[in-house]
A = this chain, B = another copy of it.
């Protein structure tokens, strides 16, 4: 990715730092550091503010940082220095009157240890530590062109792999085996790994939205739900769900499928810049409620995807806010009837300046 991308992201973050009334933010979340600098390692931190920008890392990563982050000021610790002491000394040099920590990421112990280490330096000036949650995550909601291209690629690989392993679905494979060969196939096509633990749920297992793939064989029921996605080496992800018939599907399941598909299309149709998050959820939920299954759709309609599999914005009945161009969200209504089965259909949708673009393209019908 071009270095200007990272500078542009840093500039946007500076506005949020100013709004929060602090002079600097210590970014410690691994994905956040990577998003802001392009550095792909871990155990590092970025101190950033209007008058300071330093990447703090250790000697293992010195060469890598020079390659990945040209021009960025760095502070490299040796094994004899502990990270909190390194941070304290870099902060002491920068002397912000108020410093924010990512309080949604650092542990209570880390927060206390950092406050203590920073408070104990002889900076000749006391530094006030403030919690600040999700500033970088707020930026990450809106994808730039490179991120959209990476997400398209993650979807492309997930779909291609799914098509390639589909014949295996009709053998006597276990759920777990299918999950493993699907991940392996995605890797062959360039994925770094699955975007999350792949769900392969045969028969009534599909009624559990967070089922983990187990030992049940594909042929033991007439249908199987698969929820999968690819994570690229860059970290960007896809997230898809389909239900496949592997035998004669019960008519009630076919009915559920029709309702869920109609709900999903209604949800997708509601996606545009300025649409309220809860209204998009409602557009799909209304269809399921009207069919009498409202009590069996127990989760939100969707969520943002990016460097993490669950990001803002959330499409749900309790979400505040609205969609913006550059959001990429899943749309995944479901109906789950305990001890019978569930249907969920999930696609990934980009919010465009004019409306939306469905980025995924696998057929949604029974085959």
Q: Spell out A's residues near B (CB within 8 Å).
A: 41, 59-60, 79, 101, 103-112, 131, 133, 176, 180-181, 184, 187-188, 208-210, 298-299
Contact = CB atoms under 8 A, between A and B. Distances in A.
Contact of A112 (B131, B176, B180, B188): B131
Given A103-B108, A109-B103, A109-B104, A60 B131 contact: no
Number of copies: 2
A176 B233 CA distance: 11
Nearest to A129: B108
Contacts of A184: 180-181, 184
Contacts of A108: 101, 103-104, 106-108, 110-111, 131
Nearest to A183: B184
A298 B79 contact: yes
A94 to B, nearest CB: 21
Contacts of A110: 108
Contacts of A60: 208-210
A308 B104 CA distance: 22
A110 B111 CA distance: 12
Contacts of A111: 108, 111
A310 B133 CA distance: 28
26 contacts: A41-B210, A59-B298, A60-B208, A60-B210, A79-B298, A79-B299, A103-B107, A103-B108, A103-B109, A103-B112, A104-B107, A104-B108, A104-B109, A105-B107, A106-B107, A106-B108, A107-B108, A108-B110, A108-B111, A111-B111, A112-B131, A176-B187, A180-B184, A180-B188, A181-B184, A184-B184
A108 B103 CA distance: 5
A101 B111 CA distance: 14
A212 to B, nearest CB: 8
A109 B188 CA distance: 40
Shortest Cβ-Cβ A-B pairs, 8 listed: A108-B111, A103-B108, A180-B187, A184-B184, A103-B109, A104-B109, A108-B108, A106-B108
